[in-house]
């Protein structure tokens, strides 16, 4: 009887290990994520719609609608995969986590493929590169013509972004204020709670165009190695999903479509702000 129980135990343990191995192999298959997306017929995209002209919200046909150049890009990827695209709006610091948890298939929200992030996620080839700039109150612009002018001052950056590190590393005399929402940072700047805000240039231009009392400090140049190259985040070992997405991005860039998307949506964001 003891021998029988022992044999049954070994068989059960072997079965568990076999099933675990099969599950692991399935996830490692190159087409696993592509098949998963095609089977459900939907590509779920996580984003933070506060980055005009890349992703922002407008009223369309009486409904609050997410638009932007990243939206156009995601729709092109959905078209290539033959599926519908579903957008999930959230705070930026939750965007990557939603991919890791499986709530979203990909994340597209002005995301930089930093070395730390690359340990946990796969990233597409970059689809847009932007410099980072400093925004201040227009009436105070003459007082903030270099980074030393921010010594002892508060400078805001969005929580969980590359801009946080830029403030820490390059505006060393300033006190970093990390906030969740871009709109909150703009409000804090306008009411004088913070003296500056660090943004990617296209997003900064959109906010300045919508707020004539703000200005970009053109004399301040951040380290060029800190340029923001945007990429799409996806699960680690995403296999052919990355290949399919890279193929779409490469073609759109070759056709000049990405720049066209950005230009069109910049104009849309300005019209929506009036």
**Mean pLDDT, range 160-172, rounded to an integer:** 92
By C-alpha distance, which of 205, 223, 222 is closest to 214? 205
Q: Are residues 250 and 123 in the same domain?
A: yes
Is position 116 within any domain? yes
φ, ψ of residue 199 to 5 degrees: the values are: -135, 165
Contact 106, 234 (CB under 8 A): yes
Write the CB contacts of 151 (distance below 8 Å, at least 6 apart in sequence).
173, 174
Q: Are residues 80 and 136 in the same domain?
A: no
Q: How many helices (H) and strands (E) does the chain have?
A: 10, 14
Is position 26 within any domain? no
CA distance 45 to 34: 14
Instruction: Please report, for the domain that includes residue 81, its CATH number.
Output: 3.40.190.10
Is position 97 within any domain? yes
CA distance 238 to 241: 6
Write the CB contacts of 241 (distance below 8 Å, at least 6 apart in sequence).
33, 34, 37, 105, 106, 122, 234, 235
Which residues, in sequence order, are bridge partners of residue 237? Answer: none
Q: Are residues 123 and 237 in the same domain?
A: yes
Number of domains in the chain: 2
Is position 16 within any domain? no
Q: Are residues 136 and 147 in the same domain?
A: yes
Q: Are residues 79 and 195 in the same domain?
A: no
pLDDT tens by residue, 204-220: 999 999 899 999 999 99
Alpha helices, DSSP H, located in 29-142? 32-40, 69-81, 92-100, 115-120
Instruction: Tell the burial category of 227 from Cβ atoms under 10 Å away from its Cβ (0-12, 13-18, 19+).
Output: middle
Q: Tokens 């230009």 sit at which residue?
A: 263
Q: Are residues 233 and 124 in the same domain?
A: yes
Is position 20 within any domain? no
Is position 25 within any domain? no
Q: Are residues 41 and 124 in the same domain?
A: yes
Q: What is the pLDDT of residue 110?
A: 87
Q: What is the pLDDT of residue 274?
A: 65
Q: What is the pLDDT of residue 255?
A: 97
CA distance 66 to 236: 27
Q: Are residues 199 and 76 in the same domain?
A: no
> What's the mean per-residue pLDDT of the chain?
89
Q: Are residues 60 and 117 in the same domain?
A: yes
Residue 85: domain span: 34-129+229-273
Q: Above 80 in pLDDT, residue 15?
A: no
Is position 157 within any domain? yes
DSSP single-letter state for residue 191: T
Q: Are residues 206 and 249 in the same domain?
A: no
- % residues pLDDT > 70 (the chain): 88
Q: Structure pTM?
A: 0.76
Is position 260 within any domain? yes
Q: Tokens 């933070």 sit at which residue?
A: 48
Q: Above 60 in pLDDT, residue 49?
A: yes
């Amino acid at each position: 009887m003891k021998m029988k129980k022992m044999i049954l135990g070994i068989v059960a343990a072997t079965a568990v290990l076999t099933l675990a191995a099969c599950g692991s192999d399935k996830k490692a298959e190159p087409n696993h994520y592509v098949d998963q997306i095609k089977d459900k017929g939907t590509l779920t995209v996580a984003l933070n719609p506060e980055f005009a002209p890349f992703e922002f919200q407008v009223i369309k046909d009486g409904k609050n609608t997410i638009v932007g150049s990243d939206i156009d890009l995601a729709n092109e990827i959905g078209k290539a995969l033959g599926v519908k695209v579903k957008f999930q709006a959230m705070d930026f610091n939750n965007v990557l986590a939603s991919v890791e948890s499986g709530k979203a298939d990909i994340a597209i929200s002005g995301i930089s493929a930093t070395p730390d992030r690359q340990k946990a996620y796969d990233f597409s080839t970059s689809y847009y590169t932007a410099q980072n700039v400093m925004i201040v109150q227009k009436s105070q612009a003459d007082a903030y013509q270099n980074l030393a002018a921010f010594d002892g001052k508060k400078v805001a950056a969005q929580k969980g972004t590359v801009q946080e590190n830029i403030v820490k590393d390059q505006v060393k005399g300033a006190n970093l204020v990390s906030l969740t929402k871009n709109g909150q940072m703009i409000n804090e700047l306008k009411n004088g709670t913070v003296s500056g805000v660090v943004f990617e240039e296209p997003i900064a231009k959109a906010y300045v165009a919508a707020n004539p009392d703000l200005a970009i400090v053109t004399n301040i140049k951040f380290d060029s190695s800190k340029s923001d190259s945007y990429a799409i985040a996806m699960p680690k070992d995403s296999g052919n999903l990355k290949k399919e997405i890279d193929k779409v991005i490469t073609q759109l860039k070759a056709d000049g479509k990405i720049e066209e998307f950005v230009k069109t949506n910049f104009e849309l964001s300005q019209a929506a702000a009036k």
